[in-house]
């Protein structure tokens, strides 16, 4: 069936009747959902479906299929690769599980939490904490990003170092498939070798093969103590040695290790209600946290003393109160180029083997300077996982020159990343933005296998078309 305008009108009136005024919003009411977080992608849709249950998600998907329309799923719209924006000519319904935001069970005996896909990451953290447990995934968009979006992008954040990313938390999933059938895989078994582990297919699949509607997730013991420190590195070359030292004492206590540039500190202190952590100024800082037993505070202080004796750091502070600690983590949350510079620049979410981060930053900054002399190379990130958020900016905010040379900068960065054995998408997914750039980075057979899975689960390419999967090579 074609997606002509009469057909689209029929589809819209059927969905509006099925879902009611709470469940269906016309395009004029959803302008903010048709632009992505960074303002890079703008899309259009026949309307926004807001189903209230898994059955309603299934009905929406079936109805769209009957009318030949695509379905793009959107959670909190905080994704950074454009995967949640319906771009293209096909008639498309935008679907969000925002009304499906119930936390159904916190099971302390099993240490699991079961929730619907539209719940926010922060709500999961709070529900776990009130049962004396930790829901570990945590990142700056926690108040808006949803469970479904976090699973679909396999989001990570500051605790990956110790607890792993979303993939390590998911024990079971419920998914609505492209033909509307519901797969109930909500099992909470830490061990289950009864065939393919299908839930893994849907984690990081960016809405391309199914819509996550519910999940059961692992909880962890709430650490009885934690301490945060902010240290000034003598030089970036000492990062690796500090990381090794921090990881070794006491084993497992290091739960976050974030690289922070002075350029970022200056910006966020100027722009927001954030106090400069120390008077010492260095080019690079590390924000690190130890969590676990009450002794971790002493261990952290001891680490700082050793790092100072070894000449790795020139100064450091250990947070001695909750507001002090909050100030340090707020500084980290506001470091994105969008927040700290009020602009977007050209951004890269890279993973580099941790021992090659200094080399990467040296090579990448030199490559950028050669292409556009007055551009600023801005880097921060979860370096304990090898994850660098690298942004190229014009500090004066005039991005015109930058736009012109952005393809050259991207080609240079990609080459350096690949040469160093890294990846161009550490945690934000491929979305619309990176799906072509990933070609050449992995063996073509991996893309063939991915396309085979997509064709098996969504043969008519209805779910998030043109997201994540690169086009097949021209024959
Ligand atoms: C300030 C800020 C800080 C961030 N920090 C980090 C970080 O430290 N670590 C990190 O990993 N990420 C980080 N992110 C990006 C992170 O990927 C997103 O915040 C999050 O994963 C997306 O959740 P969402 O609900 O907003 O999904 P959306 O942006 O709405 O969607 C993202 C993708 O998931 C798909 N999707 C959404 N819901 C579903 C569903 N129910 N079923 C199937 N597919 C679905 C969409 O189609 C799209 O492809 C950050 C983002 C921001 C804005």
Mean pLDDT of each 10-residue bin along the chain, 475 residues long: 72 97 97 94 97 98 97 97 94 98 97 98 98 96 98 93 95 98 94 94 98 98 94 95 91 91 94 94 97 91 96 96 95 87 85 93 96 92 91 81 92 95 93 93 94 98 97 86
189 within 8 A of 107, measured Cβ to Cβ: no
Q: Which atom of ligand 1 is closest in space to residue 140's alpha carbon?
A: 3
Write the CATH number of the domain with boundaries 103-221. 3.30.465.10
Give the residue, by CA position, lying nearest to ligand 1 atom 3.
Answer: 140
Question: Can you give the pLDDT at residue 4?
Answer: 57
Question: Which of 40, 149, 434 for mutating ligand 1's site (highest number of atoms within 8 Å of CB)?
Answer: 149
Ligand 1 nearest atom to the CA of residue 150, by list position: 21
Ligand 1 atom nearest residue 468's Cα: 49
From the CA of 212, how far away is ligand 1's center (Å)? 13
* Closest ligand 1 atom to Cα of 117: 41
Taking CA atoms, 56 is separated from 41, 90, 179, 423, 458, in Å, by 28, 22, 13, 38, 19
Residue 102 CA to ligand 1 centre (angstroms): 19
Relative to the CA of 212, which ligand 1 atom is closest?
42
* Domains 103-221 and 337-460 equal at CATH topology level: no
Cα separation of 459 and 65, whole Å? 11
User: Computed from CA positions of residues 345, 349, 350, 355, in that sequence, does the dihedral angle turn out positive or negative?
Assistant: positive
Task: For residue 427, give Cα distances in angstroms to 119, 204, 247.
Answer: 20, 9, 22
Q: Which of 422, 431, 475 is nearest to 204 (CA)?
A: 431
Sign of CA dihedral 36, 136, 389, 327: positive
265 touches 285 (CB < 8 A)? yes
Residue among 165, 170, 167, 134 nearest 291 (CA)? 134
Sequence ranges of the domains in the chain: 6-95, 103-221, 225-333, 337-460
The pTM of the whole model exceeds 0.85: yes
Q: Please, what CATH class does the domain formed by 225-333 belong to? A: alpha beta
Please choose, from the candidates 30, 149, 142, 137, the residue with its C-alpha nearest in 3D space to the C-alpha of residue 82. Answer: 149
Q: How far is the CA of 173 from the centre of ligand 1 (A)?
A: 17
The residue whose CB lies within 8 Å of the most ligand 1 atoms, and thus the one to mutate among 145, 156, 382, 457, is: 145
Atom number, ligand 1, closest to the C-alpha of residue 165: 11
What pLDDT sits at residue 94? 98
Give me ligand 1 centre to Cα 211, in Å.
14
Does the domain at 6-95 match CATH 3.40.50.2300? Answer given as no
Right CATH for 337-460 from 3.30.70.2740, 3.30.2310.20, 3.60.10.10, 3.30.365.10: 3.30.70.2740
CA 299 – ligand 1 centroid, Å: 35
Helices 54-66 and 5-23 meet at what angle, rounded to 10?
170
Query: Which of 57, 99, 141, 348 should be mutated for ligand 1, with most atoms under 8 A from CB?
Result: 141
Which atom of ligand 1 has the smallest separation from the CA of 210? 43
Distance 130 CA to ligand 1 centre (A): 25
Distant-in-sequence, close-in-space partners of 193: CB < 8 Å, separation ≥ 6: none
- With a Cβ cut-off of 6 Å, ligand 1 is lined by 37, 72-80, 83-84, 97, 117, 139-141, 145-146, 148-150, 152-153, 155-157, 206-207, 211-212, 336, 427-428, 431, 464, 467
Q: How far is the CA of 32 from the centre of ligand 1 (A)?
A: 16
CA dist list (Å): 205 to 164, 198, 213? 18, 12, 14
Predicted local confidence at residue 341, as pLDDT: 81
Question: Which is the closest atom of ligand 1 to the Cα of 206?
Answer: 49
CB-based burial label for 66 (10 Å; 0-12, 13-18, 19+): middle
Distance in Å, CA 154 to ligand 1 centroid: 8
- Measured in degrees and rounded to the nearest 5, phi and psi for residue 158 equal -80, -15
CB 176 within 8 A of CB 187: no
């Amino acid at each position: 069936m074609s997606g002509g305008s009469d057909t689209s009108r029929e589809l819209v009136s059927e969905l509006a009747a099925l879902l009611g005024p709470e469940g269906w919003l016309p395009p004029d009411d959803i302008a903010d959902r048709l632009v992505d977080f960074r303002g890079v992608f703008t899309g259009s849709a026949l309307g926004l479906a807001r189903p209230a249950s898994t059955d309603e998600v299934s009905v929406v998907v079936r109805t769209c299929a009957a009318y030949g329309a695509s379905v793009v799923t959107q959670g909190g719209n905080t994704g950074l690769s454009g995967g949640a924006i319906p771009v293209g000519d096909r008639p498309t319904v935008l679907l969000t599980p925002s009304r499906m935001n119930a936390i159904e069970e916190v099971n302390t005996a099993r240490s699991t939490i079961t929730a619907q896909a539209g719940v926010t990451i922060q709500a999961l953290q709070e529900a776990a904490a009130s049962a004396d447990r930790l829901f570990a995934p945590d990142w700056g968009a926690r108040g808006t990003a949803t469970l479904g979006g976090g699973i679909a992008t396999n989001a990570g954040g500051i605790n990956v170092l110790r607890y792993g990313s979303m993939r390590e938390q998911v024990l079971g999933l419920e998914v609505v498939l492209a033909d509307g059938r519901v797969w109930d895989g909500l099992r909470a078994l830490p061990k289950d070798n009864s065939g393919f582990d299908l839930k893994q297919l849907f984690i990081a699949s960016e809405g391309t093969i199914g819509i996550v509607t519910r999940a059961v997730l692992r909880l962890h013991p709430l650490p009885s103590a934690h301490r945060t420190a902010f240290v000034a590195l003598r030089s970036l070359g000492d990062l690796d040695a500090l990381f090794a030292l921090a990881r070794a004492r006491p084993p497992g206590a290091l739960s976050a290790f974030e690289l922070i540039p002075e350029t970022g500190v200056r910006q966020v202190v100027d722009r927001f209600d954030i106090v400069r952590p120390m008077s010492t100024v260095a080019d690079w800082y590390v924000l690190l946290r130890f969590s676990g037993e009450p002794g971790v505070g002493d261990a952290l202080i001891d680490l700082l003393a050793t790092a100072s004796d070894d000449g790795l750091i020139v100064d450091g502070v250990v947070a001695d109160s909750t507001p002090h600690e909050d100030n340090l983590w707020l500084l980290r949350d506001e470091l994105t180029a969008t927040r700290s510079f009020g602009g977007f620049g050209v951004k890269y979410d890279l993973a580099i083997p941790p021992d090659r981060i200094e080399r990467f930053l040296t090579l990448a900054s030199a490559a950028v300077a050669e292409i556009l002399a007055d551009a600023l190379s801005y880097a921060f990130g979860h370096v304990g996982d090898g994850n660098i958020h690298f942004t190229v900016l014009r500090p004066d905010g005039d991005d015109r020159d930058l736009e012109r040379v952005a393809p050259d900068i991207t080609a240079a960065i990609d080459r350096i990343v690949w040469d160093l054995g890294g990846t161009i998408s550490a945690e934000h997914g491929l979305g619309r933005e990176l799906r072509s750039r990933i070609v050449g980075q992995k063996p073509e057979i991996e893309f063939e296998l991915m396309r085979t899975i997509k064709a098996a689960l969504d043969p008519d390419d209805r779910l998030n078309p043109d997201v994540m999967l690169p086009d097949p090579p021209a024959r």
